[in-house]
Amino acid sequence: MAADINPDRTPATLSMSIALPPGTTRLRLSTSGDDAPEQACPIEDAPQEPDTSILLFCPEQGGWHVGEWWPNDRPRWVAVIDADIELEPTHWQPAPPYPRA
């Protein structure tokens, strides 16, 4: 995603280009981080299985993250990219399947 921000414009504008998956016709943008998409499930219903990556919606941490349940030492949600990053999700959904080769 590329963004061009011009501080001299009034009111402030932002232009960007986003590559959408094939077949996608709409993109929902939100200015508020606290409204999870409709297809997301409450975090209480998430599978708490180690080594199972899912999409976690963390409004206080900027939105969607790929995370997993970490049962070691003290149970918690962590980011797949770094288990030292503890996540505070409110919603979840399964990760999409791998792309076809």
**Domain extent for 100:** 44-64+72-101
User: Average of pLDDT values for 45-57?
Assistant: 93
User: Average of pLDDT values for 2-23?
Assistant: 48
100, 45 Cβ separation under 8 angstroms:
no
User: Average of pLDDT values for 87-96?
Assistant: 93
Whether residue 2 is contained in a domain is answered as no
pTM of the model: 0.61
Q: What per-residue confidence (pLDDT) applies to 96?
A: 82
Q: What per-residue confidence (pLDDT) applies to 21?
A: 52
Taking the C-alpha atoms of residue 48 and residue 92, their distance in angstroms, rounded to an integer, is 11
16, 29 Cβ separation under 8 angstroms:
no
Whether residue 22 is contained in a domain is answered as no
- Total number of domains constituting the chain: 1
